[in-house]
Structures are given as structure tokens and as C-alpha cells.
Amino acid sequence: MAIRDILIVPDLRLKQVSTPVEQVDDDLRALMDDMLETMYDAPGIGLAAIQIGVAKRVIVMDLSREDEPREPRYFVNPEILSSADELQPYEEGCLSVPDIFDEVERPARVRLRYLNYQGELIEEDAEGMYAVCIQHEMDHLDGVLFIDHLSRLKRDRAVAKVKKAVRAA
Ligand code: NI
């Protein structure tokens, strides 16, 4: 396992649309292991493969609290089958947009289908934090960041702030 570099805005690779994975094999599991380690190191609760520059439809996530045992989740080729009409606002952040937080409204519940770490097909419902996180991460697979859901002014301000912080580092 290895910790990889996380791409930061305005890196254009973050705008790429990721391609579906053909099969869940040991090479893909090695990628997911690296993604998980990178996410824990950051630290963050979700990471899409494109955030380490790999344009594959793969996500890792762990929503356990600090005082709980780790609970890694892996999503390969995730799809949203249906979404609730009800919207829920949540203050989001992103490892690719460090230190910026803002409220985004998304469907409160979604029904999902994906392949897990073993390549098994899973169908399940997500709500609460899980629903927020999976929708945020799935946006990454289509080249969309949470700041793209904000006004143009807020988005430009966020990118400028990140660039300034990166220059100062
Ligand atoms: Ni993100």
C-alpha cells in the first residue's frame, strides 16, 4: 500500500470523466488499498480515484467515527438507481478543495448499485451522511466538484483561496 498525492483545484484532471472498470481484480484492489490509505492519511471520509489521478469509476469511503472501529467501504462502477425528491442541505468539504466548506443541497436518499471490493453486485439505500458522501464522490467520477454546485462567485473565490494557500505553502 502507498499514500498517493491528492490532486488539488484547479488541476484539470479533476474535470475528467472517469471510465467504467472492466473487472474487479487484484490490480484494482491494490488501487483501492492505496486510495483508502491516502484517504485515512489526509484525513478524509471519501475519495474518488480521479483525486489521485486515476480516471476509473472507483470510490472509497469510511464514515465511522473516530472512537469506532474503521469501516472501509469500496464502490466500483456505482450507479444511482433512484433519488428522493426531498432535498437536504449539508456543509461539504473536499480533499481536492482543501479548507473550503459550503452548503450543498442534494437528494436526501438514493438507491445505489455498485460492485464491492470482492466484485459482488450490491444494491442498497443510502441516507444521511452516507447519501451526501456517495453523491459527492460520484460527482467526482463525472468531473464535478462540490464547488461546481455553488454560485460562480463562490466557486471562483474558493479556487482563488486554494491557489493562494498552495503558493504560500
Ligand atoms: Ni471531494
User: pLDDT per residue over 133-159, tens digit each?
Assistant: 999 999 999 999 999 999 999 999 999
- pLDDT value of position 132: 98
Q: What are phi and psi of 59, to 5 degrees?
A: -135, 145
Task: Give the CATH number of the domain where residue 136 resides.
Answer: 3.90.45.10
Average pLDDT over residues 112-128: 98
Cα–Cα distance, 108 to 61 (Å, whole number): 18
Number of domains the chain is built from: 1
Whether residue 26 is contained in a domain is answered as yes
Is 86 noted as a catalytic residue in this protein?
A: no
Average pLDDT over residues 20-36: 98
Whether residue 102 is contained in a domain is answered as yes
Verdict on whether the full-model pTM lies above 0.85: yes
- The amino acid sitting at 33 is D
What cell numbers appear for 95 in the block?
Answer: 480533499
Cα–Cα distance, 10 to 8 (Å, whole number): 6
Q: Which range marks the domain in which residue 162 is found?
A: 12-168
The yes-or-no verdict on residue 115 having pLDDT over 90 is yes
Considering the candidates 68, 105, 124, 137, report the single residue annotated as catalytic: 137
Average pLDDT over residues 59-65: 97
Whether residue 3 is contained in a domain is answered as no
CA of 96 to the centre of ligand 1 (A): 6
Contact by Cβ (8 Å): 59, 24: no
- pLDDT value of position 104: 98
Question: Helices (DSSP H) in the chain: which residue ranges?
Answer: 26-41, 128-141, 152-168
Whether residue 25 is contained in a domain is answered as yes
Give the chain's radius of gyration (CA, Å). Answer: 15
CA of 146 to the centre of ligand 1 (A): 7
